[in-house]
A and B are shown apart, each in its own frame.
Chain A
Amino acid sequence: MLFAASGGLLDDIRSFCIIAHIDHGKSTLADRLIQHCGAVTDREFRDQILDSMDIERERGITIKSNTVTLEYTARDGRTYRLNLIDTPGHVDFSHEVRRSLMSCEGALLLVDAAQGVEAQTVANLYLALEYDLEMVPVINKIDLPAADVERVKEEIEEDLGLDADDAVLCSAKTGDGIEEVLEAIIQRLPPPAGDPEAPLQALIFDAQYDPYRGVVLLVRVMEGSLRRGQKILLMHTGKEYDVEEVGLLQLKRVKTDELAAGMVGYVIAGVKAVSEIAVGDTITDVEAPADAPLPGYKEAKSVVFSSIYPMSTEEYPELIKALEKLKLNDAALTYEKDSSAALGFGFRCGFLGLLHLEVVQERLRREYDLSLILSAPSVRYRITLTDGQELWVDNPSLYPDPGSIDGAEEPYIKASVMMPERYVGAVMELCRDRRGENTTFSYLAVGRVELTSEMPLAEVIFDFYDRLKSVTQGYGSFDYEMIDYRPTDLVKVDILVNAEVVDALSQLVHRDKARARALHYCERLADTIPRQQFKIAIQGAVGGDIIARKTINAYRKDVTAKCYGGDISRKRKLLEKQKKGKKRMKMVGAVEIPQSAFVAVLKTDRD
């Protein structure tokens, strides 16, 4: 039996995560486990403690994973240390999910007793199996009137290939069966392996920014041990740091002397910004380094790009500050200066995906009270010029003169959609509409289908996920991985308002999609730009060719009928208010375009 250096036994540690379909009660179960182990008093208890960001709470998804170490005294009388590693739940963050899974030995596979096995459950299970995790099926919500435990057990056996006889029944809501879940964790999940005396290998699976302490690294020690005062090396970035503090995450940070192999905890080592480090990197000892880093490291790469402009130029300095602060906590966000003739100074930002973009936008709005305009999201294209030169373009304003372009390539993904059989037709059509190639499907189980399709990423960032949800009535799950770059027939669509190009609305699209996209933009603008005292022509153009057009008729009268002594103050105040509103408009030529118009064009629901 191995002893952890802190005096505990490796045998007394379990590290696990919970994988589940959205809404199957993952956060509630986590809360109940925390509560049962007494990590919080009932007074401190706040529902869904682990999902701390407002956006996560509202949307019911986990974006930034949180982790907690619980102490549980089992029926055998021993006290165990349980590391509950929370995982983010969206395809944009699958890199983070993988890092979290690498830190675990096992997982609770949570299934809703009424809903049964869902596509996402299957997808997450496969991901967990890739990391060779031990699985414990947990059937939740057994208190629901619609609960059908027998049918769900059948589905677990047939669809997931797991032994359902061992499934633990519980209701995270009422607290029923929580102790059984905890017992199953210690009895059925393996303890960590690892040698506290070996050269140090610790996996950074997450990082948080603390305004007082700098970056707090969340780590799982695989081999060796981490101590205060140790000189450490981050093997991928090659940077060295001095460890200031190590400890356990017990909802708050609890200092310890060291973190030994098998343990999960935090490290503070003078890291200033999250962007300095990379999640997935391996920490080792400078004096006695490990031979190689832990496997599976992948750099988080921006795949979606958009320019962010402040609505009012006065907010530009604040936007700079806000992005700097966000970046401290969000290593995946990239940005560089950008400027637009229509919108002034801003930043070209890179995101992991559309959800990531939305989260950043939302945080800028809520946490920094900034009013922003975002340009149409774009992927990064590879352009070959006639002189043989190659360049990467993700910003339509940097798109070279079409005459000098020899060819263009765009990124492709392999999309994997899992769904009940009855939606296959609709999903295949959706994939075809999105230029999907080599679309195939296979039966995972009776009635359940996995469809794969090779699709341009550009087609996915434009409302694919929303459309998928809609055509599968929410039953479709979606995951993707980047595969390669393929030749494409690219054109730059410009949007003109009274013959002036609004550069922030320009976009790069496939020639076949140009007309439809241009029309969509023209329609949205025509709906959202208020009528002005002259006629406004909104056009979509490729080069000199107009491919879409909408007109906003002029208003001819806005003056009020009466204005005498008693009306003057009131009337002036009204005009002042309107003038203020105008400040929040962008002038393109003589046309005032409200922020809502820029927002509306990016809305893609087609109803």
Chain B
Amino acid sequence: MKPSPSTGAGLYIHVPFCTSVCLYCDFAVTIAGEERRNAWAVGVVREAEMYADCGLTFDTIYLGGGTPSSVVPERLDSIFVGLRGQLEINEGAVCYLEANPEDVTLETTTLWRQLGVDVVSLGVQSFDDEALGFLGRQHSASVALAAVEILLAAGFHTVSVDLIYGLSGQTPGGWKAQLARAVSLGIDHLSCYQLTFHEDTLFGRRLAHGLIEQVPEREQAELFFLTHEVLADAGFEGYEVSNFAAATRHRSRHNQKYWDHTPYLGLGPSAHSLANGRRWWNRRKVRQWQTAVDSGRPPIEDEERPSREELLLEALMLGLRTTDGVDLNRICERHGIDLLATNAATIDRFCKSGHLHMDESRLRPTLTGLAIADTLARSFNL
């Protein structure tokens, strides 16, 4: 039984390749041929070599993208072997893979299992073909359904499905049906993201030019609460703003590291890392990253050393996104600030308004609090 609580670091590998770019996506992705994919795979291992003495021990490996499932299994294998040769990776480390439905076949899933993949996040996004077309996805609803079935049968520890809501014209009834569909499949984990319009994407530009509309805030809120309510009724624990687990053991242990300042190392273009009070991030453009790695230079774009106030703000902004909230004792130990003393009035105000509640030393958001986590984090005097 591999996934269990631990304090190890997280390892993230960014796969910058897609077969086509989704209209809403703002990640660092590119469409490239075999040669560049191969160079990237070699580069990831070379980059890992630069961190051979970083002192971190990893207990999660996450392949995100991009489309990790589009990387052929042999190449994944060589990456895993290479990484284990360079970095301290626990024997029982949990391995995550993001997958697109069109890449999921009996053959690939078998190979992924053999490679040690434990958790697959399937980018379904919607069970409605029209919505999939609108989002620019390559698969159809039936392909997605088939993919879920194959994954569930393959014996992964956790099968997770990603959905997007808040598409213009989406009714609460329509969204509820989507959720019911997902739940009925018997999956272990769901990520439900509200459609976000990033400036630099085609969607962002279409929005700016009035070609598409954003769902009004009132309806967004309605869909958000509906999501949490429907999934709670179905036995899913909404442990983070957009993440739901059928049981605690299915929570994403890797993502949790981002939310509680556990160290993580990111490899590949645009990947971010955090360790020893320093955060750094890689060059975003694949070619620039590749050139640096190939010539033996760290492909780092920039770095920062967040101040105590900045770390505190992050701790609140991230912690209050999760139902576990923030452990005020731990904050006191880490940052030397007793928020209960310095922000008594703020805490009291939001407890009275039903947005927060104290649970021993933990300050936890309620569901309404989760919905305004940004406001909550902003309200503290640090």
Contacts and interface: CB of A to CB of B under 8 A. Distances in A.
Do A and B make up one complex?
Answer: yes
Contacts of B217: 555-557
Contacts of B241: 559-561, 563
A556 B371 contact: yes
B370 A559 contact: yes
Most buried by A among B225, B353, B355, B372: B372
B317 A565 contact: no
Nearest to A571: B317
A499 interface: no
Interface stretch (A217-225, A347-355, A572-580): A572-580
B54 to A, nearest CB: 16
Contacts of B306: 572
Is the contact region of chain A dominated by helix, strand, or loop, or is it mixed? loop
A253 B314 CA distance: 62
B130 interface: no
A534 interface: yes
Contacts of A571: 317
Given A565-B266, A566-B281, A568-B314, A559 B374 contact: yes
Contacts of B272: 565-566, 568-569
A318 B256 CA distance: 48
Nearest to B28: A566
Contacts of B196: 560-562
B190 to A, nearest CB: 13
Contacts of B349: 590
B374 A534 contact: no
Contacts of A532: 375
Nearest to B193: A561
A568 B318 contact: yes
In the complex, which range does the number of interface residues on chain A fall in? 20 to 34
B318 to A, nearest CB: 7
Given A563-B321, A566-B271, A533 B372 contact: yes
A560 to B, nearest CB: 7
A578 B12 CA distance: 30
Contact of A565 (B242, B264, B321, B353): B264
A564 interface: yes
Interface string A113-140: 0000000000000000000000000000
A321 interface: no
Interface in B260-288: 264, 266, 270-274, 279, 281
Contact of A566 (B259, B270, B318): B270
B373 to A, nearest CB: 4
B329 interface: no
A582 interface: yes
A556 B221 CA distance: 6
Given A559-B321, A563-B258, A566-B271, A533 B193 contact: no
A579 B317 CA distance: 12
Contacts of B372: 533, 555-559
29 contacts: A555-B372, A556-B221, A556-B224, A556-B371, A557-B372, A558-B371, A558-B374, A558-B375, A559-B241, A559-B372, A560-B241, A560-B374, A561-B195, A561-B241, A565-B12, A565-B264, A565-B271, A565-B272, A565-B273, A565-B274, A566-B266, A566-B281, A568-B272, A569-B279, A569-B281, A569-B304, A575-B317, A575-B377, A579-B313
The 5 closest A-B pairs by CB, nearest first: A556-B221, A557-B221, A557-B371, A565-B272, A559-B373
Interface of A: 532-534, 555-566, 568-569, 571-572, 575-576, 578-579, 582, 590
